Chain A
Amino acid sequence: MAVSLSDGSVGLVTPQVAHFDEPFTFASGAVLRSHELVYETYGQLNHAGDNAVLVCHALSGSHHAAGYHSEEDRRPGWWDLAIGPGKPIDTNRLYVVCSNNLGCCDGSSGPNTINPATNEPWGGAFPQPQVKDWVRSQKRLAEHLNIPRWAAVIGGSLGGMQALQWAVDFPDWVEHCIALAAAPGLTAQNIAFNEIARHAILSDPDWCHGDYLAQGKLPTRGVALARMVGHLTYMSADGMSDRFGRELREGSFAPGDNSEWVFQVESYLRHQGARFSTQFDANTYVLMTRALDLFELAADYNSDLVAALSVAEADFLIASFSSDWRFPPQRSIEIRDALLAAGKPVTYANIDTDNGHDGFLLPNPTYEALLSAWMCRVGPS
């Protein structure tokens, strides 16, 4: 049995589905007549309803944040590091909810689900969601689960942006807000990397203008390339040097050996790309990267970040990761400084790590200790 149900694991978990019949209107104006959100919960909601925590996933994440789906599962949920009994987000005390974002491909209504109007997969016709749309859809889910407000909304990267959007859009719903490796908006460089990823997908002959599912095809080459580029931006140069160096996986540096050379780093990226290309929906990747591009926390406040965050009523934990160059510490510092200027309670840490942007998902004693220490103030005492 691969699953260890030892201390610290939430154990076996089963995703649940919430069906919503009332129409959902996106920020773009597009409307879903009905939709579904798939989600997981860990821990128990208490009688007062004041121990609920929302965990928001990042670009390629899902509702499966912790525990295992079956005893044969080889990997736990994407943030098993932080969620579980006795872990920083302690399920002995807290009730944790994680939902698959609208427009994603792990069960919530999205491009790979059936459009009730056509009985075909939505494909490229699924509306473009924005971060603020996810926040509103998650609020519906909270109401569906009889949660009166969140003791905390927590996320990293795109999930951190959602957490911040929550604190600004529904201030009385968010008591604590944790944004890890996030940014108040994307830079031209960020958007450029996303465009390369989208271009890779759209250039794949099997893309079929987004209707590959209806045509029985999958643009796996494009998705793999998009993932390789994306994955590269999640790692740091030092971290890659430590892990792969100039090691060869195939071939040799011997004089006269002109065999096919494959560096370890090449092999790793190819593996990551190939694995992702069969698991993740291409349309979703396009929608998610676009949602990132469109994100600007202060968009409704004349791009004034201090004005936007002045509305919030939450206590904030903002953390960056020293070697993150996708959303570098400076971007978190922008958020921190706006919070300070707005007079909001904020703790800020820059975690020293070689793990790059992925730092928020990976073990690090200081990071875990800080998260644990800070989470003690979340929920009923």
Chain B
Amino acid sequence: MSRLDLDTVLSWVPKGSRVLDLGCGDGAFLARLSEERDAIGVGVDIDPANLVTAVSRGLDVIQEDINDGLDCFTTNRFDVVILAHALQELTHPHIALQRMVDIADEAIVSFPNFGHWSCRLHLGVKGRMPMSRVMPRHWYDTPNIHFCTVTDFDALCSALHIDIIERATIAGPAQHFLGRWFPNLFATSAIYRIRRSGD
């Protein structure tokens, strides 16, 4: 995830929040959240090397597979739960999303936008599954098993009765405004602030 994406996520985390970072990696971002936002963070990651690095940063980390490891987090335990660029790797993204909005008051989710024009070009013109800097792997060996577009994600939130509080889109420098106006076509990735619907 780019620095720009993470800056956006950071700006959405209120000071002093209790934060759960799903797929926290080596904990670099969680450490930044605790330094810059006084967040009390817990990370979740499956990789042992990541775990050790995150622990050495003084963080608390739970070694667990996000796919089946969210039940241990009790309802309303956190202010914010973050899933940065891992949605597309989950076995059941819709179940994870539902659980996330239960665990925390707000969830922040980011993902690469499969509706980006370059993806459409790959599929529409070349007839091949897209590969890019953000998605460098072949279709058969990629961990990204559940790609979606910005419009797909909007529809899923609606179906799951999840409210979208805010959305930010990341686009190439030339398509900055296009990305804002036509995110499904020009955003390379999208970041959402969501919560359980009030009704």
User: Could you list which residues of chain A lie within 8 angstroms of chain B, going by C-beta atoms?
Assistant: 315, 333, 336-337, 340-341, 343, 345-352, 366, 369-370, 373-374, 376-377
Contact = CB atoms under 8 A, between A and B. Distances in A.
B73 A340 contact: yes
A373 B60 CA distance: 11
B175 interface: no
Given A333-B72, A340-B72, A370-B51, A347 B62 contact: yes
Contacts of B55: 347, 370, 373-374
Nearest to B72: A337
A340 B52 contact: no
B52 A336 contact: no
B19 interface: no
B67 interface: no
Interface string B20-32: 0000000000000
A348 B63 contact: yes
Given A347-B59, A370-B52, A377-B58, 10 more contacts: A333-B72, A336-B62, A340-B74, A345-B60, A347-B60, A347-B61, A348-B61, A349-B48, A352-B48, A366-B49
Given A333-B72, A336-B72, A340-B73, A349 B56 contact: no
Contact of B52 (A343, A346, A366): A366
Interface size class of B (residues with CB under 8 A): 10 to 19
16 contacts: A333-B72, A336-B72, A340-B62, A347-B60, A347-B61, A348-B61, A348-B62, A349-B48, A349-B61, A349-B63, A366-B49, A369-B52, A370-B55, A373-B55, A374-B55, A376-B56
B5 interface: no
Contacts of B56: 373, 376
A113 to B, nearest CB: 42
Contacts of A350: 63
B77 interface: yes
Contacts of B60: 315, 345-347
A347 B77 CA distance: 16
A343 B77 contact: yes
Interface in B67-98: 72-74, 77
Contacts of A347: 55, 59-62
Nearest to A346: B60
Binding site of A, secondary structure by majority: helix, strand, loop or mixed? mixed
B52 A348 contact: no
B189 to A, nearest CB: 30
Given A346-B62, A348-B63, A373 B72 contact: no
B38 interface: no
Nearest to B59: A347
A374 B73 CA distance: 22
A377 B49 CA distance: 18
Contacts of A370: 48, 51-52, 55
A324 B198 CA distance: 45
Nearest to B49: A366
A315 to B, nearest CB: 8
B105 interface: no
B51 A349 contact: yes
Contacts of A349: 48, 51, 61, 63
B53 to A, nearest CB: 8
A366 B48 contact: yes
B64 interface: yes
A341 B75 CA distance: 9
Contacts of B74: 340-341
A121 to B, nearest CB: 47
Name the 10 nearest CB pairs between A and B, nearest first: A373-B56, A373-B55, A337-B72, A366-B48, A349-B63, A369-B52, A348-B62, A341-B74, A347-B60, A345-B60
